Amino acid sequence: MYLTSLTSNQLTTLVVVFVVSNMIARTPWFQNWLIKKIEGRHKLFSSINSIKGNDEFQQLSFSSKEEILTAINSLHSYAANTLSQNNRRRKLFKLMSWKQQKLCDDIGYTKKLNSIDKGIKSNQQLLTSIANKFTSKYDLSYSDLQSFQSSRKNASSTNYRVIEALSHIVRDWSSSDPKEIEPILNYVKKEINRVIPVAERARTCIIVPGSGTGRLAYEIAKWDSKSSQSLGAVHAVEYSGLMNMVNGFVFDAEEVEKYEIYPYVHTCSNFLDTESQLRVEPFQVNIQKPENLHLHHEDFRKFRLDNSSIFDNIIVVSVFFIDTAENLVDYFDTIQYLTTKTTNNNIKNGYWINVGPLKYGTASQVELNGEEIRKLRKKLGWQDINSKYSIKDSEHENNGLFEYTTDRGSLWQGFYGVCMWNTARKENERKA
């Protein structure tokens, strides 16, 4: 029945795809590739299952175990991988003529590369502390980590994630006055106040998906805590093992620990001078975690509130998040599930506050523009209270552009125009 409904072009395409895929599947190359893939996955599976750890580790899902082990090994391997990249610069430098090398040495190029090495080694001190904290937390041994590492290929390919985590540490925690987060936090607070009376804050739960290293969720959780007007709960949900470990590390230190981060030593592009590239960002841990803040290492699409029945209001706050989805509609489905009244909860009002760009990755299954997303919200039962594009709104500074891990001392800087909205479920008892 289905085949008869196809056009001749569609049928031809289907036949070609079938024939070609069948031919490829029969080739020795494909069969060997498939065997190696299966064997590699089996080796990884066996390696992870052989690691005992403690009860807390055993309670993790297989994917969470893999994520944690990968993160710990990546943290330990940072210096080796990054120093290797700096040594590559030296090898490329040697391809120049002796006279050209002498000219560059006279103005300090080799000295700069040596200073970069020192910065990398300083970064490793912090990363080793984070790795050791979680190795101890899950009672993992050195042999456990080695066994897991040997079961994986291309272990160095995760180093860019460690570098990314360092940039997020600087963004979130290197300063008591996070300039990048401040305008976002101000908007989020204003929109929460718009829909939630102060008297209802204690019965309000905030969910922050893609919470990264956690500063935004932390600031929301401690908001007005001294005046007994804090929110009932704030749940920070982050799938990346690295980001989650950094967030936990910030709060888990038994005493004040101070580190120096060199966040700009991973590239030599776009710097005005060497002093700018070798800037140090201070990082201090032993920050008290608010009692209402809960950290989750979890895929947001699978996140569920265990005690949703105690809250009248649920608000999802997504910041620089929705465009990270492979399937954007999956995120919409999860947000709708978490904020909509059912027989299993006592939710009276559900809201969704968003701030973020639409910079899709290479594997996005659907890439919607701002207006398409607005129409999708309406189609799914959302009623916008406030919706705007920052670049068209005179309220925001910098022409409505928001920074994201931006180095203001660089010739290249990252700014985004963002979609901003506060929207309510149509089922809400409190009408917008």
Residue 141 lies in a domain: no
Instruction: Tell me the residue range of the domain where 228 lies.
Output: 166-425
Q: List, for the chain, all residue ranges whose pLDDT scores fall below the cut of 50.
A: 33-34, 36, 39-40
* pLDDT at residue 389, rounded to an integer: 96
CA–CA dist 326, 36 (Å, integer): 27
Contact 427, 341 (CB under 8 A): yes
* pLDDT at residue 176, rounded to an integer: 61
Residue 161 lies in a domain: no
Residue 156 lies in a domain: no
- Same-domain pairing of 42 and 172: no
**Domain CATH for 227:** 3.40.50.150
Residue 139 lies in a domain: no
**What is the DSSP annotation of 98-163?**
HHHHHHHHHTTHHHHHHHHHHHHHHHHHHHHHHHHHHHHHTT--HHHHHHHHHT-S-GGGGHHHHH
Q: Could you tell me if residue 122 is left (phi over 0), alpha (psi between -120 and 50 degrees) or otherwise beta?
A: alpha
- Same-domain pairing of 399 and 267: yes
* pLDDT at residue 32, rounded to an integer: 56
Coil/strand/helix, residue 167: helix
* pLDDT at residue 254, rounded to an integer: 78
- Same-domain pairing of 325 and 191: yes
Residue 94 lies in a domain: no
Residue 320 lies in a domain: yes
Coil/strand/helix, residue 238: strand
- Same-domain pairing of 411 and 283: yes
Of 29, 50, 71, which marks where a domain is finished?
A: 50
* pLDDT at residue 55, rounded to an integer: 92
**What is the DSSP annotation of 308-365?**
GGG-SEEEEEEES-GGG-SSHHHHHHHHHHHHS--TT----EEEEEEEE-----TT-S
Tell me the residue type at 7: T
Residue 188 lies in a domain: yes
Residue 430 lies in a domain: no
How many independent structural domains does the chain possess?
2
